[in-house]
Amino acid sequence: MEQQFWDDMYREKDQVWSGAPNGALVTEVEGLPPGQALDLGCGEGADALWLAARGWLVTAVDISPVALARAKAAAGDAKVSWTHADLSTSALPARAFDLVAALYFSVKREPEHRAVRNMLAAVAPGGTLLFAHHDMTGHEHKHNPDPDFDPADYYSPGDIAAMLDDDWTIVTHETRARVNMPPEAMHVNDIVLKARRH
């Protein structure tokens, strides 16, 4: 799941994703006052553009330059800072973002949890973390187009929730039906974690 994998995936089609914002983002962010937002694993940019249209100042990060170029082309005049970075090796500004959103963002497990700690550290006091992923229950890794992919190798929302200390309040941690699910989707449910830093 490194840069080459994602670049190759994006090169296979002119558009990989629907272009609509993720349902979990719309549901959980609606009503939050806009501020500084960090969109991790921004892909083709739909979530970042949705946030920007609602007054958020967005930094959108992805490991794939191919995806970022596509997002920039779709952005027009939208004020989004498109950033190429690998969360496991690139530092994020500490306590700088009122919203850190990581939706369907694959973070590989590592002994020091560096990428996850980097993500959590980026949330400002009073800010919100939104981490959502597909519920992989009943789906073996052989169903994934990448034969080397095993869900157990990656952090789940439950793993992230377990790493939160007394500096956090968990607002939402639940499994729910996917919103605007494409017909070809294999995963019908999402696990959504929303937490607020004190």
Proportion of the chain above pLDDT 90, given as a percent = 57
Proportion of the chain above pLDDT 70, given as a percent = 87
Label residue 77 exposed, middle or buried (CB < 10 Å: 0-12, 13-18, 19+).
exposed
Domains of the chain: 3-197 (3.40.50.150)
156 phi and psi angles, rounded to 5 deg: -100, 165
Three-state secondary-structure class, residue 60: strand
- Would you place residue 138 in the very low, low, confident or very high pLDDT band (cuts 50, 70, 90)? low
Residue tagged 């949705």 (tokens) = 50
For the stretch 54-64, pLDDT in tens is 999 999 999 99
Residue tagged 């929730």 (tokens) = 161
57 phi and psi angles, rounded to 5 deg: -95, 110
Find the range with the poorest average confidence among 11-15, 70-74, 112-116, 170-174: 11-15
12 phi and psi angles, rounded to 5 deg: -70, -30
Contacts of 23 (CB under 8 A, 6+ apart): 178, 179, 180, 190
Report how far apart, in Å, the C-alpha atoms of 130 and of each of 9, 31, 40, 117, 148 are.
Answer: 25, 14, 10, 14, 27
User: What global pTM score does this model have?
Assistant: 0.88
Residue of 100, 105, 104, 91 lying closest to 120 (CA atoms): 100
Does 66 have pLDDT greater than 60? Answer: yes
Strands (E) located in the chain: 36-40, 57-62, 80-84, 97-103, 123-134, 168-177, 189-197
